[in-house]
Amino acid sequence: MPSDELKDLPPGERRQFGRYTLLHRFASGGMADIFLGRLVGSDGFQKIVAIKLVRRDLGANPEFIKMLVDEARLVSRISHPNVVNVYELGRVEGTHFIAMEYVEGESVGSLLRRVRPPLTYVARVVADAAAGLHAAHELRGRDGQLFNVIHRDVSPGNILISYQGATKVSDFGIARARGRLQETNAGMFKGKFSYTAPEVILEKPVDRRADVFSLGIVLYEMATRKRLFKAKNPAETVRRVLSGSIAPPSTLLPDFPKPLEEIILHCLKREPASRFQTAQELQLGLERFIHDNGGPVLPSDIGQMMSSVFADRIQQKHNLLEQCSELGGEEPVQDVEVLTSASFSSRLSTFTPRRRLMLGAIASAVVAVAALVLVLVTWGEDRSVARKPASPADQGAPRATPDARVARTPDSSARDQLTWINIVVSVSPASAALTLDGKPVDNPLVLRQPAAEGEAALVARARGYTSQTVQVPLGRGGTWRIKLQRAAAPAGPGQKARPKGLDTKSVLDNPY
């Protein structure tokens, strides 16, 4: 898995590509390379985009390119603020590409790696995603007939949140729709089992309600921060999707709101006729929940949360874009050939059915790459950050390993203005109590405060667990995930003490 640190990625591979300049490669896979690109126009016009460059060997296969054209044709018809825009499908010097909207933000999966958002914020994000899906489901041709679009791969990695708080659904690359050039081969599964509706796995008739089921899984996991169906192997995951028990959120989190629980469980009915029949119905239910629990949650509210939780990433990406902008612009050296279905349909007759089946199998793996298209790499572990030595009183206290996604600030010598830091902490088990310098604070904790000298003692305690203390550097803050160890039970006469174990059932275990 690629590193979460942008500075650990290879340096930008700047080169001209038609009317685009490829500035930085931030993802690479078996199907395509994903570049940060810049479109240069006259009078200093520039636009940053994400460009999916298909590998040359796959670009020579007409059936694979048909799938690429399907994706671009389909998504380019959807005009909605909660769906990622596709700008262009083309070919330069024999290399096919898709140019897309660059969303400067993170995926829902990345957000859950760091914090469990407030439930009204969860409802806002999922309601906006539902609005985008409904727009896709309602896509119609000029004859007024539905295209019957189904995303088929709704998951935390394909729902993006910008740092300004906008939610966007991405990657319609495996969607089915009326009039598609490339139909999925019979018996070939596409998507992620742990986010797939039962009727898809069972190869029954599939419609928009399958996306409602998948979005219900995302809603469940955002609200509880616990994986719902994911198992150690695909066979067990499929069994759980088809017949496994679904623990109501209230059994995992005390005082979980009943109305939100009812919405979640309604999405997860295995019989499609028992679910919300449209994504819009789900959206309206979540809007009512938000209204009844404190009023509106605006994109700006989501943006403030993102700015706090991802302060370090925002600075990294800002630095990267600044470096790219310093490269300056160049005139395009090669025109782009815009592709249509007629560009290659005549060549399909040269491929045998057997080769088509092989190519279809290869193409299905494009999903793993497409999930990375519009965000810089958000997975992997960060490098540890050195801390100041603990005071003598704290020398013997056990320390939690910091997540090390630190809100970086300028050196103290350069601080001529007030500098703010972020302190983000989550502790399992969920019942754990937190204190910061002796003052009770929330668990999980998302705190933004002015930078100061020295350290603060963050103490996590829970009955039946060994307490842990972390020294929080007040000059830079940080992000920590603390997992308390169960306290060893006293050994009875003639018994050996049982070894300590981790609480693997906590709802705050890192599920991603």
Q: Cα–Cα distance between 210 and 276 in angstroms, integer?
A: 10
Sign of CA dihedral 320, 96, 93, 340: negative
- Cα 291–chain centre separation: 26
Dihedral angle of Cα 285, 290, 296, 301, to the nearest 10 degrees: -110
Residue 117 has pLDDT above 50, yes or no: yes
Sequence-separated (6 or more) residues with CB below 8 Å from residue 290: 120, 123, 124, 127, 296, 297
Per-residue confidence (pLDDT) for residue 259, from 0 to 100: 97
Residue 372 has pLDDT above 50, yes or no: no
- Residue 479, beta-bridge partner list: 424
For the stretch 293-325, pLDDT in tens is 988 999 999 999 999 999 888 888 888 777 766
Mapped onto helix, strand or coil, the DSSP state of residue 169 is: strand
Q: How far is CA 124 from CA 61, 244, 299, in A?
A: 42, 28, 8
Homologous superfamily of 6-370 in CATH? Transferase(Phosphotransferase) domain 1 (1.10.510.10)
Of 223, 227, 280, nearest to 257 by C-alpha is 223
Per-residue confidence (pLDDT) for residue 507, from 0 to 100: 35
Of 372, 487, 476, 366, nearest to 54 by C-alpha is 366
The number of helices, as runs of H, and strands, as runs of E, in the chain is: 13, 17
* 153 in catalytic set: yes
For the stretch 77-94, pLDDT in tens is 888 999 998 888 888 877
Kindly report the CA angle at 35 between 358 and 20, in degrees rounded to 5?
110
19-28, 123-132, 181-190: the lowest-pLDDT one: 181-190
Length of the chain as a residue count: 512
The pLDDT-based confidence of 369 (bands split at 50, 70, 90) is very low
**Rounded to the nearest 5°, which phi and psi values hold at 449?**
-150, 165
Per-residue confidence (pLDDT) for residue 134, from 0 to 100: 97
Residue 95 has pLDDT above 60, yes or no: yes
For the stretch 459-490, pLDDT in tens is 999 888 898 998 888 888 888 878 898 887 65
Of 164, 246, 161, 155, nearest to 194 by C-alpha is 155
Residue 177 has pLDDT above 90, yes or no: no
For the stretch 191-217, pLDDT in tens is 588 999 999 999 899 999 999 999 999
Q: Which residue has the tokens 């999405």?
A: 267
Which residue among 4, 33, 70, 153 is the active-site one? Answer: 153
- Residue 486, beta-bridge partner list: 465
Residue 68 has pLDDT above 80, yes or no: no
**Which tops the pLDDT comparison, 491 or 434?**
434
Q: Distance between the two ends of the chain, CA-based, in angstroms?
A: 12
Q: Cα–Cα distance between 141 and 154 in angstroms, integer?
A: 23
Residue 337 has pLDDT above 60, yes or no: no
What average pLDDT does the structure give for the chain? 75
Of 65, 207, 205, 84, nearest to 149 by C-alpha is 207
Beta carbons of 444 and 426 less than 8 angstroms apart = yes
315-324, 386-395, 422-431: the lowest-pLDDT one: 386-395
Of 106, 72, 148, nearest to 306 by C-alpha is 106
Per-residue confidence (pLDDT) for residue 360, from 0 to 100: 44
**Which tops the pLDDT comparison, 137 or 505?**
137
Residue 276 has pLDDT above 90, yes or no: yes
Q: How far is CA 272 from CA 128, 202, 206, 275, 286, in A?
A: 22, 13, 9, 5, 19
The pLDDT-based confidence of 176 (bands split at 50, 70, 90) is low
User: For the residues 274-295, what does the mean pLDDT come to?
Assistant: 95
Sequence-separated (6 or more) residues with CB below 8 Å from residue 347: 62
- Residue % of the chain over a pLDDT of 70: 69
**Rounded to the nearest 5°, which phi and psi values hold at 265?**
-70, -30
**Which tops the pLDDT comparison, 363 or 66?**
66
Packed helices 353-364 and 62-77: angle between N→C axes, nearest 10 degrees = 50
User: For the residues 341-353, what does the mean pLDDT come to?
Assistant: 39
Q: Cα–Cα distance between 90 and 337 in angstroms, integer?
A: 5
Q: Cα–Cα distance between 374 and 52 in angstroms, integer?
A: 10
Of 481, 421, 487, 483, nearest to 454 by C-alpha is 421
**Rounded to the nearest 5°, which phi and psi values hold at 427?**
-130, 135
> Which DSSP symbol is given to 343?
G
Residue 222 has pLDDT above 50, yes or no: yes
Sequence-separated (6 or more) residues with CB below 8 Å from residue 480: 400, 401, 402, 403, 424, 425, 426, 458, 470
Residue 455 has pLDDT above 70, yes or no: yes
Buried-state track 385-406, b at ≥16 Cβ within 10 A, e below 16:
eeeeebeeeeeeeeebebbbbb
User: For the residues 368-392, what does the mean pLDDT come to?
Assistant: 39
Start-end of CATH 1.10.510.10 domains in the chain: 6-370
The pLDDT-based confidence of 29 (bands split at 50, 70, 90) is low
The pLDDT-based confidence of 338 (bands split at 50, 70, 90) is very low
